[in-house]
Amino acid sequence: MLTQLSENLAFGGVHRRYRHSSTVLACDMVFAVFLPPQALAGAKVPVLYWLSGLTCTDENFMQKAGAQRVAAELGIAIVCPDTSPRGEGVPGDPDGAWDFGLGAGFYLNATQAPWSAHYRMHDYVVQELPALVEAALPVSDLRSISGHSMGGHGALVCALRNPGRYRAISAFSPITHPADVPWGEKAFSRYLGEDRATWAEWDASLLIAKAAEKLPLLVDQGSADSFLHSQLKPEALQAAAEAAGYPLTLRLQEGYDHSYYFIASFIEAHLRHHAAALGV
């Protein structure tokens, strides 16, 4: 059951925020949705699922990316979940760090206590949330997925692990090889344990070699991103895609950083990338 928290008109459509009780995450969750004017007129529209990065909530992308204008034109809904479980009883980083725990769910299914009781963002994004959205809102089961940074990692992994679920993938500044960078090593060792063999199931640069389908994949990366070489490593994804014959378009955007100014500059190209695959 959805509880509507707010509604704002935008480009002939509506932006709404909802709260619901998540069985998968064992807590209440909030997500945002933009419904284009076509949905309000009675059509069931396809959905782009957007996964945000570290420290974000459902609000960052919806307020800063400027995606609604083009989504309204194309007739695509956008669903933006939170980045982790929340609420009383949900553990966070014991030291209060921003790159683990609350706001940093890494879109995986944790196997280690105490995280495994709540941190199952992969199943939430791939299964529970779409089922809820498709049952309650005027959207179809045609899905696409995108994200930024940690959310770019999530988008890649969700699509690579679930053939037939999505029509296209894109990402801005994704953590492409989390098993080999500090952000990923910290999160994976706590959520999944110290056995690095288990980490491969959540690493796009390792998953792409055995991908069961080859979806159109667009990645934009800023050359002035301060995390480029230490945390993101797009060259790892590019090498893996080339070896697997995976259709990756990787664009290095000169002078752009890791911010939402970067995302806002190129979000239209990503929406049109998804629209082509979704047939709208």
Q: What is the pLDDT of residues 151-205, one digit of tens each?
A: 999 999 999 999 999 999 999 999 999 999 999 999 999 999 999 999 999 999 9
Range 120-128 average pLDDT: 98
Establish how many alpha carbons lie within 13 A of residue 93's alpha carbon, considering only the half-sphere containing its beta carbon: 15
Q: C-alpha distances in angstroms, 59 versus 15, 31, 133, 167? A: 11, 8, 18, 25
* 277 class by beta-carbon count within 10 Å (0-12 exposed, 13-18 middle, 19+ buried): middle
- Helix, strand, coil % (nearest 5) of the chain? 40, 25, 35
| Size (the chain), residues | 280
The pTM (predicted TM-score) of the whole model is: 0.97
Range 12-32 average pLDDT: 98
DSSP 193: -
50 in Cβ contact with 71 (< 8 Å): no
- The SS3 assignment for 114 reads coil
pLDDT of residue 1: 85
DSSP 242: H
pLDDT of residue 279: 94
**Residue 54 reports pLDDT greater than 90:** yes
Strand runs (DSSP E) across the chain, as ranges?
3-10, 13-22, 27-35, 45-51, 77-80, 139-148, 169-172, 217-222, 248-253
Q: Which residues are catalytic?
A: 149, 225, 258
More confident residue, 187 or 1: 187
User: What is the average pLDDT value for the chain, to the nearest integer?
Assistant: 97
pLDDT of residue 200: 98
pLDDT of residue 214: 96
Which residues make Cβ contacts (< 8 Å) with residue 131, sequence separation at least 6? Answer: none
pLDDT of residue 119: 98
DSSP 101: B
Nearest to 246 by CA among 180, 177, 159, 173: 159
**Residue 44 reports pLDDT greater than 90:** yes
Q: C-alpha distances in angstroms, 154 versus 74, 158, 227? A: 24, 6, 17
**Residue 97 reports pLDDT greater than 90:** yes
Helix (H) or strand (E) segment spanning residue 8: strand 3-10
